[in-house]
Structure 1
Amino acid sequence: MDPHLLRTFTVVARLRSFSAAAAELGYTQSAVSQHIAALEADLGVRLLDRRPVAPTAAGIRLLGYAEPILLRLAAARADLTRLAAPRPGPLRVGATPLVVAAAARLAEGGRDGALTLHVTTRADLPRRVATDELDLGLRDGFAAPNDPLPGADLGPIRVEVQGVEPVVVALPRTHPLAARRALGLADLALARWVDAPEVAAPLTQLRAVTGADGFRAAVRYLGADVAGLLAVVAAGHGLAVLPAGVVRAHADLVGVALAEPRLVHRVELLRPAPADGPPGGSGG
């Protein structure tokens, strides 16, 4: 399976257009059509319907394999390039919104004191470290006490745990549950919630860990500003699961401990594996 053909297929499937894929890839539309036809001939299945352009059932199945394969190849290329010629210039550090300040401290004394700090998403940060878009990445997330965060299994990445702290349900001080010592998360499934997937625990994760239907968003908060999210919760628009220290620092909020399920806020440093080490990542 030719990775060039596979890449063309993923772009066409994402854009739902041969002409748009040709423009993005820098090919002619005829070349894109030939790539797709060659891949379909190689696999013996039709991958894309043409009118309108959309992946078939086989195409959808292939996408599940294609994107991780292409990412692994890009990570391998970046790793070998890094070994051959270390990149000069400012230290490039990525961070998810809750740990930007910690990332800035971590990068002190970088290359000649120069630093480029990128605020990025939890899902995208491992990819950007693996493909050499970033030299270091600091990310946060929510997990069971002994579990690593998902998504760093891209080969040449080393994972180092930087911190673990309890999580709480953030509520306004005037909320009827604010005086409780602890709360079961499943009991709050029908409460009003703020869905802030890049700052708080995502509601999809809360549904998964409790097995409870519910956790519907009263407010969708798609920003990366932590102070903005805290203001939304303090104003009574919905609850959020956050690190205890973040909530403790806000005068108008109360953090109530989670009785069950057990979750922690985890912070991990991602960096390329050393040149003399194996190409696999290691957890801590």
Structure 2
Amino acid sequence: MDPHLLRTFVTVAECGSFSAAASRLGYTQSAVSQHIAALENDLGTPLLSRRPVVPTASGERLLEHAGPILLRLDAARADVRRTVADPPSTLTVAASPLAARSLASRLAEVRRSHPGTELALTVCGRAEVVEGVAAGTFVLGLTDGITAPTDPLHLSDAVHLHTTATSEEDLAVALPKSHPLASRRGLSLGDLVDARWIDAPDLAAPLTALRAAAGSDALHPAITYNGTDLHTLLALIEAGHGLAVLPRSAVTEDLAAVALTNPRLVHRTELVRTDLATPAAKSLAATFSNHQ
């Protein structure tokens, strides 16, 4: 299976359009159509319905494999290049939105100790941090999520990365102060099965993770927020669009923050990296050990 064809297929499935995929990939629409036809011929089955452009049942199954396959290839390419290329002159760092809050002082330390180092910080989604570090786009990443106390985050089955826990924090249910449950000292997910939820997968605890932790499919979003701006999410909560589970420190005084008591979960932040080739990268990684 040609990885170039596979990447084209994934892009078309994401865009829902051959022309949009061609624009993203820098191909002609005819070339994209030829890629999809060649892949379908190789596998002996249609992968995309054309009107509308959506994956078939076979295409859905291929998508489950495609992400890990392409990530593994990107990671292999980056790993080989690191053996022959000079260390990068710019320290590229990625962080998920909540994890980025702890970076400012640490980047200042690196600039003081390595004044000639150029820094580039990208704030992006949790999966993008992990995939970018694996693919060599970023030297270091800082990502976050929810897990049982002391358990590591589940980041990727496709590649192995070095991870270091940098912090763990209690979780709280963020809700308007006028909400009937705002005066409670603690809440379980069982108390909230009928609540209006905001699903913000790159900021709050994703509802998929909360359902898995609760062993219930009863938590449903009233609204999905795919952005990465914490202030926007908090404004949505304050306006009554729904609840969200966040680390306690992320909830402002304008909202009520009621401890999540059951199931017992924590907000965990982890440093993600491959091999560190520059003194500046090693210094930044060391600041997380020094501050724990």
| TM-score band w.r.t. shorter chain | 0.7 to 0.9
User: What residue ranges of structure 2 are gaps of 5+ in the alignment?
Assistant: 278-292
Deviation at 1:121, TM superposition (A): 0.5
The equivalent residue for 1:188 is 192
Deviation at 1:57, TM superposition (A): 2.0
The equivalent residue for 2:149 is 145
Distance 1:3 1:193 in 2: 39
Residues 89-98 or 171-180, more deviating: 171-180
Deviation at 1:139, TM superposition (A): 1.0
Is the CA contact (8 Å cut-off) linking 2:71 and 2:159 kept in structure 1? no
| Residue 110 of structure 2 corresponds to residue 109 of structure 1 | yes
Distance 1:9 1:173, change over 3 A: closer
The equivalent residue for 1:265 is 267
Distance 1:228 1:55, change over 3 A: closer
User: What residue ranges of structure 1 are gaps of 5+ in the alignment?
Assistant: 276-284
Distance 1:254 1:31 in 2: 54
Residues 51-60 or 121-130, more deviating: 51-60
The equivalent residue for 1:120 is 124
Quick one: which amino acid aligns to residue 144 of structure 1? A
Is the CA contact (8 Å cut-off) linking 1:16 and 1:54 kept in structure 2? yes
Count the aligned residue pairs: 273
Distance 1:32 1:130, change over 3 A: same
Deviations 1:193-215 (A, max 9, x none): 33332221123332332233443
Deviation at 1:136, TM superposition (A): 0.9
TM-score (ref. length: structure 1) = 0.82
Deviation at 1:157, TM superposition (A): 2.0
Quick one: which amino acid aligns to residue 201 of structure 1? A
Deviations 1:162-187 (A, max 9, x none): 11111111234444333333221111
Distance 2:56 2:179 in 1: 49
Deviation at 1:138, TM superposition (A): 0.7
Distance 2:32 2:184 in 1: 60
Could you say what secondary structure the match of 1:212 adopts? Answer: coil
* Larger helix percent: 2
Is the CA contact (8 Å cut-off) linking 1:96 and 1:140 kept in structure 2? yes
The equivalent residue for 2:44 is 44
Distance 2:46 2:221 in 1: 39
Distance 2:76 2:65 in 1: 17
Could you say what secondary structure the match of 1:145 adopts? Answer: coil
The equivalent residue for 2:285 is none
Deviation at 1:53, TM superposition (A): 4.5
| Residue 211 of structure 2 corresponds to residue 210 of structure 1 | no
Alignment of 1:11-26 (within 5 A): 11-26=11-26
The equivalent residue for 1:61 is 61
Alignment of 1:165-244 (within 5 A): 165-244=169-248
Distance 1:192 1:12, change over 3 A: closer
Quick one: which amino acid aligns to residue 268 of structure 1? E
Deviation at 1:237, TM superposition (A): 4.4
Distance 1:116 1:76 in 2: 23
The two structures, once aligned, show a CA RMSD in angstroms of 2.8
Distance 2:104 2:32 in 1: 43
Deviation at 1:23, TM superposition (A): 4.6
